[in-house]
Amino acid sequence: MRQAYAGAAQKHLETVVQPTIDKGEVVSTAGVEALKMFGYTDEEISTLGDVKGVTKEGLQELINERTKKMLSLNGGTQKVILAEELRKWMEEGWDCKRDLPNGKVVIGLRVG
């Protein structure tokens, strides 16, 4: 009877060891998911190599580059638009930097 009780109670008395996740694996997965949220494809991510080796600053730079590309900045923080479009761009968070004589305006990303 003691043996039957021990066998039945054993599953309730012993703790089950949960598998642990490596911190590097968590960081790598988070980095990959962050890049995907900013439009990077799996092929582009694979060309970067091991994302675990990319520093936080490097990851931020990759995201900044993609954001500028998505905003059609081609690596800069300013662009030229038609004066008629200025209101629309200002509502989207851009600032007017300078009027040009040809009916165009230089706008830049709003700081702060």
Task: Please state the separation of Cα 105 from the chain's center in Å.
Answer: 31
Q: How far apart are CA 44 and CA 62, in angstroms?
A: 11
Q: What is the pTM of this model?
A: 0.49
Q: Under a CB-based contact definition with an 8 Å cutoff, are residues 81 and 99 in contact?
A: no
At 18 the pLDDT is 65
Strand partners, 79: 107
In the chain, what are the domain boundaries? Answer: 1-73, 77-112
How do the pLDDT tens digits run along the chain, 112 residues long? Answer: 888 888 888 777 777 666 777 877 887 888 888 888 888 888 888 888 777 778 888 888 888 888 777 766 655 678 888 999 999 988 888 888 888 888 899 988 776 5
Q: Kindly report, residue by residue over 35-66, the tens digit of the pLDDT.
A: 888 888 888 888 887 777 788 888 888 888 88
